[in-house]
Amino acid sequence: MTILVAYASKHGATRGIAERIAERLQALGHEAEALPVDAVSDPKTYEAVVLGSAIYYGSWMREATEFLLRHQTPLSARPVWLFSSGPLGVETRGGEEQPRELAEFRDAVHPRGYQLFFGALDHEKLSFPERMVIRAVRAPEGDYRDWPAIDAWAERIASELEPHGYEAAPPPGPEITPPGV
């Protein structure tokens, strides 16, 4: 089973999550690789896909959204899981589902699962305009990625990809009538 873990990451936190998922899948016996979406030429060469993006202003990064929509047909024909990273701190705020395109993504590729992970913020990696926005919204600096939760999610994916979770059930055989009936 060859698994693509594709991602869009601006400052590296989402890349770190994708790499961790791929490493965990490998440790569980799967062939997996993490690649930026821009480096993936054809997702049809993979048997399963995990696709993730950082969230900015409530939306996935443009390149991740374009990747999902451009490759909608091959993605919907194989097991797919989606993840996002971005909220900072230890709890999410507001009732709006993030990313705001999630319903469209679900309709497009019918993912087996979706997970929202907390992200990381390092002021040193930000541009001046980004630092001004972060200061205005008082976003907390730090690494809020929950590595045990990321590992557990990768383990759930691996278990779903086991033969009992991935392969379709065999077609029904001929009906057998027990003797004497």
Contact 97, 51 (CB under 8 A): no
Q: Look at residues 1, 4, 71 and name the one whose alpha carbon lies nearest to residue 29.
A: 1
The residues spanned by each domain of the chain are 2-166
Reported pTM: 0.78
Least confident residue range of 67-71, 103-107, 118-122: 118-122
91-100 mean pLDDT: 63
Three-class secondary structure of residue 109 per DSSP = helix
Selecting from 3.40.50.2300, 3.30.470.10, 3.10.290.10, 3.40.50.360, what CATH number does the domain 2-166 have? 3.40.50.360
Q: What is the pLDDT of residues 3-28, one digit of tens each?
A: 999 999 987 889 999 999 999 999 99
**pLDDT at site 162:** 80
pLDDT at 168: 36
Alpha-carbon Rg for the chain in angstroms: 19
